Structure 1
Amino acid sequence: MIPPPCFDGLPPVAAEVARGVTRLFCRQDLFAICEVPLPNGRRADLMGIDPKGQLTIVEIKVSKADLTTDAKWTDYLEYCDRFFWAVPPHLSALCEEERFLPGEAGLIVADRYDAAICRAAAHRPLAPARRKAETLRFARRAARRLSAQLDPSMGFDR
C-alpha cells in the first residue's frame, strides 16, 4: 500500500505551510514527519526531532475558523519540548490572543517557499521516561514509513 500524501484531503495551503516549516527546520538541523498520532488519540500535524533529541510539535492552521475553534491543541503539550503554531501570514495576528498562550506556544509564519519564527516557543523539557518513549515511537514511525515507500507490501502506518 502506497502511503497517502501528508495533509491529504485538506486545502493545498496546509501542505504549503508544512513545506515552508520543513525548510526552516532543515536549516536548524531539525527534521520532522507529518501527521503523527499521539498516545492520547490526538494527531500532531508535524513532529520534529533535533540533534539533542528534543521534540517539537507544530500545529498548522490555515483558516480563521479552524484556528479559533481549536480547543484540543493543549493536549499536544505533554508530548513535546516545544510547541509552535504554523500559519500563513494572514492569520499571524490572531495567534497573539491570550487563548493561544503566547508565553508557551511559539509562532511560525510560513508559505510554500519558506518560514520564519515570529515568536519563540517556551522550552518545557519532557520527563526522561516520556522522552525515551516518544523518541522511540518517532524513530519507529519514520522507519516504517520509509520501509513502506521502499516496499508497499509492508503496509503503511500513519
Structure 2
Amino acid sequence: MDRPRPEPRPDGRQSATALMIQRGVARLLRAANFAVLPEFTLASGRRADLMAISDAGEIWIVEIKSSPEDFRCDAKWPEYRDWCDRLFFAISTEMEPEIMPADAGLIVADSWGADILRHAEAASLHASRRRALTLAFARAAALRLHGLYDPLAETL
C-alpha cells in the first residue's frame, strides 16, 4: 500500500543552498550508519546545523556554511567543539574549501550526496556529557517523529 510520506517543514531560517548542503550531508552520514538530526539545540542554547550519532555512540556536529559571508560573520562555531567528538564544516561544491578552518573536518555537498575532504581530529566527550547529549538526541528525534504522524498532538 502506497501511503504518502510526511515531509518535515523547513523552519525558514535556512537558505536554499544551506538546505541543499544539509540534504547531501545527511545522506552521506546516513550511509555511514549515523542517525542525523538537523537544527539540534544544545544545552548551551546554541543550535547545531546537523548533529549525528554513530552506531558506536560517536557524536559529530556539522556546521553548514552556504557562502563565504556566512562563514565570516559566524563567531559561534568554536563553541561546538565542547559538544562533540568531531566538528565538521559542510560547504557546497561552489565554495572554495581553503577558507574553512584547517583544524576542523570538511565536507563538500550537493543535494544528492557529499564527500568528506578532511576528517576532523577526534576529541573525547566526558561520559556524562555524552549521556546527556545522547538522551537529548533521542528525545528530540522521538518528538519530531511524533509531530510528523500526529501534528495536532501539540495543540491538545
Whether the TM-score (by the shorter chain) exceeds 0.5 is yes
- For 1:7 and 1:15, locate their aligned partners in 2 and report how far apart those are by CA, in whole Å: 11
- For 2:132 and 2:13, locate their aligned partners in 1 and report how far apart those are by CA, in whole Å: 30
| 1:150 aligned residue | 149
Helix, strand or coil at the partner of 1:155:
helix
Is it true that 1:94 corresponds to 2:99 in the alignment? yes
Runs of 4+ in 1 over 3 A off after TM superposition: none
- Higher RCO (CA 8 Å, separation ≥ 6 residues): 1
| 1:47 aligned residue | 51
The two structures have a TM-score, normalised by structure 1, of 0.88
| 2:107 aligned residue | 108
Amino acid aligned to 1:93 = E
Deviations 1:92-122 (A, max 9, x none): 2211xxxx2x23x100000101100000011
Q: CA deviation at 1:72?
A: 0.4
Amino acid aligned to 2:57 = G
- For 2:152 and 2:7, locate their aligned partners in 1 and report how far apart those are by CA, in whole Å: 11
Q: CA deviation at 1:89?
A: 1.9
Structure with the larger helix share? 1
The two structures have a TM-score, normalised by structure 2, of 0.89
Q: Which runs of 5+ in 1 are unaligned?
A: none
| 2:84 aligned residue | 80
Are residues 9 and 72 of structure 1, via their aligned partners in 2, closer, same or farther at CA, if it must alter by over 3 Å?
closer
Q: Which runs of 5+ in 2 are unaligned?
A: 1-5
Percent of matched pairs sharing the same residue? 41
Q: CA deviation at 1:4?
A: 6.2
